[in-house]
Structure 1
Amino acid sequence: MNKRGLFITFEGPDGSGKSTQIRRIAEFLKNHNLPFLLTREPGGTTVGDQIRAMVLNPENRMIVDQTEILLYAASRSQHVQEKIRPALEKGWIVLCDRFTDASIAYQGYGLGQDVAMVQMINRFATDGLEPDQTFLIDVSPETGRKRMESREGAAEVGITQNAAELDRIEARALAYHQRVREGFLALYHENKQRITLIDGEKDREEVYSTIIKALRGSLNLK
């Protein structure tokens, strides 16, 4: 592990199962007595959670694309300064459910905004902090929607809301989520040294095993 800790992010389209996997990885680290921080975006701080409630509220349909980009970046800036950097400076492993890749995929590719501008805003928000390792769990928009809307699928990926309670982003059309997926895949092809692509259509135990194998290598664990 790096002296300043290891920053690991989990990404993927909605319904990919990443939130379930990140909790299992946290349990793995706990069992190995490794210090870690488990956190998420948007949110992770008191300020960030307030922004999360605003940006994901389905009633806030009036939020324009540029505002959405800036709200996510504002939450991330607070998160980095208040939680992520301090944990890394203590030598901890940071497990983060989404980070800047999500903004590039969702607001850049998904909303059709200038990807370079989204990247620039997020470099400022994070003060240049980037993940050391990213696990990208990929599923089709159809699979993701089915999982979110079905009770069985929701239990699989740790989601409790029903179809009528999808958040403002989740409820967008499948065409939007297809663009998001394409954005994630583009990021993978540009960052293969950092991003591990995992087929989220497979059994969740197989997904977990793939992540653990890669993580053991990063942590020099047998």
Structure 2
Amino acid sequence: MRPGPPQGCLITLEGIEGAGKSTQCETLVATLAELGIPFLQTREPGGSPIAERIRALLLDPEQEGLCAQAELLLIFAARAEHLAQSVRPALEAGTWVLSDRFTDASFAYQGGGRGISAESIAGLETLVQGALRPDLTFLFDLPAELGLKRAKARADLDRFEAETLGFFERARQVYLQRAKLDPARFRVLDATQDVEQVARHVREALVDFVARRPFSGQ
């Protein structure tokens, strides 16, 4: 029996609002394409039809009354659909997955920001994901005050972008704590640097990761 295709890698981008994830995602897209690695670009919440509908509800600034527990459950409902419809099929086909946010965001935003226990979030993580965890995570870090200032410079704020400085300060600390506990997975980047500097560090980190875990068939 011929072996199946190699399992793809899951790469995630994390950071508070205004950290520049969307901009640097394009750096990762360009680098993966340059290296000849097939990939799926996606996002959370979202990434599949039903998950995108849940995303619209979660980000709607008019949904001010949504309680923290309902928010967390909606995010994991969207994640379950995202995994079933998009992420797992891609990984099983040997395609790499590049996701703008994943479960670290739940620990940071619903855990740090909303005050839900890490144990509750970890239970949902196991239920929905099983053993699946990111292979590589880029954390774009900057002071919460600067991130909030950047976010507010945008035309329209979504429900999360409109949160308080304290919310983002707590979320940032959880991100940094998680990175400290898992240095093999995380690459923490200084998002206060100019875009070109950050992009150079992103590209170097990805090329190094691929060199240590090359895509079969390159």
* TM-score normalised according to structure 1 size: 0.90
Structure 2, gaps ≥5 residues long: none
Q: Which secondary structure does the structure 1 equivalent of 2:32 belong to? A: helix
State the match for 1:190 in structure 2.
181
* Contact 2:152–2:161, Cα closer than 8 Å, also in 1: no
Number of equivalenced pairs: 208
1:35-86 CA-to-partner distances (Å, cap 9, x unmatched) read 0000000000100000000011010011100000000001011111111111
Q: Which secondary structure does the structure 1 equivalent of 2:61 belong to? A: coil
Matched to 1:80, the amino acid is L
Candidates 63, 73, 78, aligned match of 1:75:
78
Matched to 1:133, the amino acid is L
Candidates 139, 143, 147, aligned match of 1:140:
143
Matched to 1:104, the amino acid is F
| Aligned counterparts of 1:211 and 1:122: Cα–Cα separation in 2 | 27
Instruction: Say whether residues 1:36 and 2:27 are aligned partners.
Output: no
Shift in Å at residue 3 of structure 1? 2.2
Map 1:2-21 to 2 at 5 A: 3-21=6-24
Matched to 2:82, the amino acid is H
Instruction: Say whether residues 1:214 and 2:205 are aligned partners.
Output: yes
| Aligned counterparts of 2:55 and 2:129: Cα–Cα separation in 1 | 17
* Contact 2:46–2:55, Cα closer than 8 Å, also in 1: yes
Q: Which secondary structure does the structure 1 equivalent of 2:134 belong to? A: coil
* Contact 2:27–2:203, Cα closer than 8 Å, also in 1: no
State the match for 1:128 in structure 2.
131
| Aligned counterparts of 1:218 and 1:148: Cα–Cα separation in 2 | 30
| Aligned counterparts of 2:106 and 2:165: Cα–Cα separation in 1 | 18
| Aligned counterparts of 1:146 and 1:79: Cα–Cα separation in 2 | 31
Matched to 1:47, the amino acid is I
Map 1:76-95 to 2 at 5 A: 76-95=79-98
Shift in Å at residue 169 of structure 1? 1.1
Matched to 1:94, the amino acid is V
Shift in Å at residue 23 of structure 1? 1.9
* Contact 2:27–2:202, Cα closer than 8 Å, also in 1: no
Question: How many percent identity over aligned positions?
Answer: 39
State the match for 2:158 in structure 1.
167
| Aligned counterparts of 2:128 and 2:60: Cα–Cα separation in 1 | 23
State the match for 1:111 in structure 2.
114
Q: Which secondary structure does the structure 1 equivalent of 2:25 belong to? A: helix
* TM-score normalised according to structure 2 size: 0.92
Q: Which secondary structure does the structure 2 equivalent of 1:210 belong to? A: helix
| Aligned counterparts of 1:71 and 1:12: Cα–Cα separation in 2 | 20
* Contact 2:15–2:139, Cα closer than 8 Å, also in 1: yes
| Aligned counterparts of 1:128 and 1:70: Cα–Cα separation in 2 | 19
Shift in Å at residue 31 of structure 1? 2.9
| Aligned counterparts of 1:79 and 1:102: Cα–Cα separation in 2 | 15
